[in-house]
Amino acid sequence: MSAQQLGESVKQRFGDKVISFSVPQPDQLYLTVTSDSIVPVAEYLYKDQGCRFIINSGTDRRQQRGKFLITHFFAQDKEKFYIAVHTEVDEDEPQIDSITPSVPAANWSERETRDMVGVVPTGHPDPRRLVLSDDWPEDLFPLRWDVEHGVKPPSVEGVAPERLAPPEGASVVPIGPYFPVLEEPAYFRVFVEGEEVVGADYRGFYSHRGVEKLGCSVLTYNQIPFIAERICGICGFVHSCSYCQAVERAAGIEVPPRAEYIRTIMLELERIESHTLWLGIAGHIIGFDTVLMQTWRMREPLMWLCERISGNRKTYGMNLVGGVRRDIKPEIYDDIRQVLTDIEREWQELYDAIPGDSTLMARLQGTGILPTEVARSLGAAGPTARGSGLAIDVRVDHPFAAYDRLEVTKCVYDGCDNLARTLVRLDETVDSIKIIRQALQDMPEGPIMAEIDEEIPAGCEGMSAVEAPRGEVFHWVLTGTENRPERWRVRAPTYANLQNVPPMLEGNALADVPICIGSYDPCFSCTERMEIVDVNSGQVRVYSQEEILNGDYRRQDD
Amino acid sequence: MIASKLKEAILCLRPGLVTLKYPFQPHPPEEDFRGYPEVDADKCIGCGGCAAVCPARAIMIQDIDQNTRRIVRLLERCIFCGRCADVCPEDAITMTKQFELSSDMGREDMESECQVFMATCQRCGRCYEPATPLDRIMQPGFRHDEIKRGGQDSPYEPVKPA
């Protein structure tokens, strides 16, 4: 069923409840429905049509329409299009029926919309605060237009996040706030019975940076790519690329083919960089540092190559709306091929060594099982999904940049365990090298930047996804006045994958928890608190930064 | 098992020692590296294009009087993207290869300022003409008043328009 047909079918089924639908491009369907029909429409798309939930977004349009705009995004992977379901909610009664009971993957994003815009999802099964810090005022919603960027409410002492209670008889093992092996902040509370994990709870977002607010209130169109690139330190190019594509779609800008090829090559170079980095970290987590040393050594010539192409090892700063800033000069094609050949040879040697290594296999095989059904219902993305047998890959399902002209293989394994996710990444690296070789060979001549003569009109929207090393990155832009978007919504793949961690951990031994969490290549935000469980009374409390600095966390009787 | 370990051993042994003895053995950056942005104040015409495109808003512009424009660069905000060098119509800004930028001179060392004599009519013949309308200066007078040096407790007063 094409986007047009699906729009008609929804219209036919729900009649007056569907206010309008449009298909500006064959791969984008925009539906506007009444607020009381959002749950049945979401159920129809998710259960009957097999669409995948991506994220939801809240926009404050009280100035223009006197209403809040709530948008749920879905993907129809088989038919290669994205769906945005818009609903308007009255400003006097800012609430909307929660779709989480029918679409479990919407859990986090509905809570985020409540935190940031103040539209309450009614009937949400887990209405705890998600994104804002615990001492943030209840009635201050940062993404509303009348809240200034950079507002700093005074901090409050003695607040703590609401925590899930551990199951009867289970103990709590806090992992974090500084994840011991990834050297990144993350705060998991793992519930254990003896050695076995029976559940987990995650609290994060302690250093939410407010990048979306920055983009919608302070920056201009061509400044955002550089800030978007800093959303992630390892795969930043995917964000600037996805943002630029979303604006280009909204404004109808045609990107020159050479720029599309350059974007493709940079994305694939970044994927190799990220996967080699991940394999090293995974080896480090399970105590096999040889892998760490060797993969990072292999990666270094690639970093120097990227510095030569873009002017920097990471955060290439190459994307702008309409194309790229820097050309890949033909005289370095051969050097790129040489670096790829070297990496491919060593990567293959490593690949041959791994399956025979019983130490590695014992740690990877059969641990961290994420069943296919769970991965689908919680919206897993990227290698996490493909390791659980879900054949989704944006490069094939929703081709962007030059991927429609290149041969891309979906690397899918159905082992559902840590080994499957490792093999997906090992295969993808080899595939990426092939893609870059083909792109270098087919690269057309011509300009690298589109000529933009007119301003971008307000009120247009564009969706764009990019396959990042960790999974699907999704950006939605609603254009506005003053040379900047009215709303810019970002979904990073870890946002979806983190929600898969608690079910993934269940049934594992505690010793396997680090590699399970590491196996989906997380990208955490910062947290600044720690939790101490008093073993005698079982009491749990969180200490503030000041208390930790003062040493107040020591036991009273010490 | 043993075969695997042998393969791994070969993989480790073949490249030998690869760690550079930095800083005694430097690894010079590549030709087009985006390092410290050097400004040739003699070439600057005070058009303000660099301030308009800077994503980190590290460049402030202030008109002291009818004839003098003050351009302040806060290098601690700089993200080395090189957009200022791209748009400068006079090629007054170059991205150098210098990346060892730590300083023991305090915050003042991270700030540079130049004052440009502007003709009485500040708009004619000096205005910045961007390649696309997306780089246009949207608000007259720039947004310099939002930028502060240092953290929120810094005693530094933001520059107010004259």
pLDDT tens per residue, range A151-171: 888 888 888 778 888 888 888
Residues B93-129 as b/e (b if ≥16 CB within 10 A, e otherwise) read bebeeeeeeeeeeeeeebeeebebebeeebeeebebe
A316 backbone dihedrals φ, ψ, rounded to 5°: -65, -25
Residues in Cβ contact with A223 at an 8 Å cutoff, skipping those fewer than 6 apart: B53, B54, B55
Question: What domains lie within chain B, and their CATH numbers?
Answer: 32-145 (3.30.70.20)
The DSSP bridge partners found for residue A489 are: A476
Is the bond leading into A185 cis (omega within 30 degrees of zero)? no
The DSSP bridge partners found for residue A464 are: A475
pLDDT level of residue A419 (50, 70, 90 thresholds): very high
Residues in Cβ contact with A456 at an 8 Å cutoff, skipping those fewer than 6 apart: A221, A247, A250, A251, A479, A483, B134
Q: Which residue has the higher pLDDT, A465 or B101?
A: A465
Q: What pLDDT, on the 0 to 100 scale, is given for residue B120?
A: 57
| Lookup: tokens for B132 | 């696309």
How confident is the model over A174-187, as a mean pLDDT? 72
Q: Which residue has the higher pLDDT, A135 or B137?
A: A135
| Inter-residue contact B27 to B56 (CB < 8 Å) | no
pLDDT level of residue A501 (50, 70, 90 thresholds): confident
Chain B positions touching A227 (Cβ under 8 A) are 55
Q: What is the bridge-based pairing of β-strands A81-90 and A28-33?
A: parallel
pLDDT level of residue A295 (50, 70, 90 thresholds): very high
Binning chain B into helix, strand and coil, the percentages to the nearest 5 are 20, 15, 65
Q: Which residue has the higher pLDDT, B136 or A135?
A: A135
Which of B1, B2, B4, B12 is best to mutate for the A interface (most A CBs within 10 A)?
Answer: B4
Q: Determine, for residues B29 and A307 on separate chains, whether the beta-carbon distance falls below 8 Å.
A: yes
CA distances for B75 relative to A168, A314, A454, B37, angstroms? 56, 20, 33, 9
pLDDT level of residue A386 (50, 70, 90 thresholds): very high
pLDDT level of residue A556 (50, 70, 90 thresholds): very low
Of chain A, the percentage scoring pLDDT greater than 70 comes to 92
CA pair distance A129, A115, nearest whole angstrom: 7
**Quick one: how far is CA A549 from the chain centroid?**
33
Nearest alpha carbon to residue A311 among B70, B29, B22, B122 = B29
Nearest alpha carbon to residue A234 among A313, A320, A321, A305 = A313
Interface of B with A (CB under 8 A): 1, 3-5, 7-8, 10-12, 15, 18, 29-34, 53-57, 79-83, 86, 95, 131-136, 138, 143, 146, 152
- Flag whether pLDDT at A403 surpasses 90: yes
Is A213 in a helix, a strand, or coil?
A: helix
- Flag whether pLDDT at B147 surpasses 80: no
Q: What pLDDT, on the 0 to 100 scale, is given for residue B51?
A: 87
Q: What pLDDT, on the 0 to 100 scale, is given for residue A462?
A: 95
pLDDT level of residue B118 (50, 70, 90 thresholds): confident
Measured between CA atoms, how close is B43 to chain A, in angstroms?
A: 24
Is A219 in a helix, a strand, or coil?
A: coil
CA pair distance B139, B154, nearest whole angstrom: 27
CB pairs under 8 A between A and B: 102
CA pair distance A187, A532, nearest whole angstrom: 12
CA pair distance B48, B84, nearest whole angstrom: 10
Q: Determine, for residues A483 and B33 on separate chains, whether the beta-carbon distance falls below 8 Å.
A: no
pLDDT level of residue B101 (50, 70, 90 thresholds): confident
- Flag whether pLDDT at A134 surpasses 70: yes
Which DSSP state fits A509?
B
Dihedral angle computed from the Cα positions of residues A130, A136, A141 and A145, in that order, rounded to the nearest 10 degrees: -130
Q: Which of A25-39, A134-148, B65-79 has the lowest mean pLDDT?
A: B65-79
pLDDT level of residue B123 (50, 70, 90 thresholds): low
- Flag whether pLDDT at B160 surpasses 50: no
- Flag whether pLDDT at B157 surpasses 90: no
pLDDT level of residue B102 (50, 70, 90 thresholds): confident
- Which part of chain A has CATH 3.30.460.80? 3-144
CA pair distance A428, A546, nearest whole angstrom: 45
Measured between CA atoms, how close is B51 to chain A, in angstroms?
A: 11
- CB-closest option in A222, A297, A454 to B53: A222
A-chain residue closest to B135, CA distance: A222
Of chain A, the percentage scoring pLDDT greater than 90 comes to 63
CA pair distance A24, A7, nearest whole angstrom: 12
Q: How many residues does chain A have?
A: 558
Q: Which of A88-92, A123-127, A535-539, B65-69 has the lowest mean pLDDT?
A: A535-539
- Please give the helix or strand (H or E) that residue A198 lies within, else none: strand A196-202
- Flag whether pLDDT at A557 surpasses 50: no
pLDDT level of residue B143 (50, 70, 90 thresholds): very low
**Quick one: how far is CA B11 from the chain centroid?**
42
pLDDT level of residue A527 (50, 70, 90 thresholds): very low
Q: Which of A321-325, A440-444, A472-476, B15-19 has the lowest mean pLDDT?
A: B15-19
| Lookup: tokens for B17 | 């020692």
Nearest alpha carbon to residue A74 among A49, A96, A91 = A49
Residues in Cβ contact with A45 at an 8 Å cutoff, skipping those fewer than 6 apart: A10, A51, A74, A83, A85
Per-residue pLDDT reduced to its tens digit, A299-319 = 999 999 999 999 999 899 999
Residue for token pair 């609430």: A95
Chain B positions touching A357 (Cβ under 8 A) are 1, 4-5, 8
The DSSP bridge partners found for residue B59 are: B73
Is A530 in a helix, a strand, or coil?
A: strand
pLDDT level of residue B151 (50, 70, 90 thresholds): very low
- Flag whether pLDDT at B140 surpasses 50: no
CATH class of A3-144: alpha beta
How confident is the model over A254-280, as a mean pLDDT? 95
Q: Determine, for residues B132 and A230 on separate chains, whether the beta-carbon distance falls below 8 Å.
A: no
pLDDT level of residue A185 (50, 70, 90 thresholds): confident
Per-residue pLDDT reduced to its tens digit, A186-241 = 788 889 998 899 988 888 787 788 889 989 888 899 999 999 998 888 888 999 99
pTM given for the model: 0.90
Measured between CA atoms, how close is A378 to chain B, in angstroms?
A: 35
Chain A positions touching B146 (Cβ under 8 A) are 150, 218
Q: Which of A198-202, A540-544, B67-71, B111-115 has the lowest mean pLDDT?
A: A540-544
- Flag whether pLDDT at A244 surpasses 90: yes
Alpha helices in chain B (DSSP H): 2-13, 49-53, 83-87
| Inter-residue contact A312 to B80 (CB < 8 Å) | yes
Strands (E) located in A439-522: 461-468, 471-479, 485-491
Residues in Cβ contact with B139 at an 8 Å cutoff, skipping those fewer than 6 apart: none
Q: What pLDDT, on the 0 to 100 scale, is given for residue A524?
A: 58
Alpha helices in A286-417 (DSSP H): 289-310, 333-353, 358-364, 372-377, 382-386, 394-397
How confident is the model over A250-274, as a mean pLDDT? 95
CA distances for B9 relative to A282, A349, A521, angstroms? 19, 11, 27
Q: Determine, for residues A227 and B95 on separate chains, whether the beta-carbon distance falls below 8 Å.
A: no
pLDDT level of residue B125 (50, 70, 90 thresholds): low
B143 backbone dihedrals φ, ψ, rounded to 5°: -110, 40
- Please give the helix or strand (H or E) that residue A109 lies within, else none: helix A107-117
| Inter-residue contact A249 to A28 (CB < 8 Å) | yes
Q: What pLDDT, on the 0 to 100 scale, is given for residue B149?
A: 46
Measured CA angle at A337 (ends A334, A343), to 5 deg: 145
- Flag whether pLDDT at B154 surpasses 50: no
Q: What pLDDT, on the 0 to 100 scale, is given for residue A9?
A: 94
Residue type at position A393: D
pLDDT level of residue A1 (50, 70, 90 thresholds): confident
Nearest alpha carbon to residue A24 among A69, A74, A82, A78 = A82
Q: Determine, for residues A227 and B55 on separate chains, whether the beta-carbon distance falls below 8 Å.
A: yes
CATH class of A211-518: mainly alpha
Measured between CA atoms, how close is A504 to chain B, in angstroms?
A: 29
User: What is the distance between the terminal CA atoms of chain A, rounded to a whole angstrom?
Assistant: 69
- Which part of chain A has CATH 1.10.645.10? 211-518
- Please give the helix or strand (H or E) that residue A542 lies within, else none: strand A540-543
Chain B positions touching A221 (Cβ under 8 A) are 134
- Find the radius of gyration of the CA atoms of chain A: 24
A-chain residue closest to B152, CA distance: A152
Measured between CA atoms, how close is B94 to chain A, in angstroms?
A: 13
CA pair distance A397, A76, nearest whole angstrom: 9
pLDDT level of residue A180 (50, 70, 90 thresholds): low
Measured CA angle at A155 (ends A154, A161), to 5 deg: 140
Q: What pLDDT, on the 0 to 100 scale, is given for residue A482?
A: 84
Q: What pLDDT, on the 0 to 100 scale, is given for residue A548?
A: 46
Is the bond leading into A177 cis (omega within 30 degrees of zero)? yes
- Flag whether pLDDT at A105 surpasses 50: yes
| Inter-residue contact A507 to A369 (CB < 8 Å) | yes
- Flag whether pLDDT at A534 surpasses 50: no
CA pair distance A390, A210, nearest whole angstrom: 32
Whole-number average pLDDT of chain A? 88
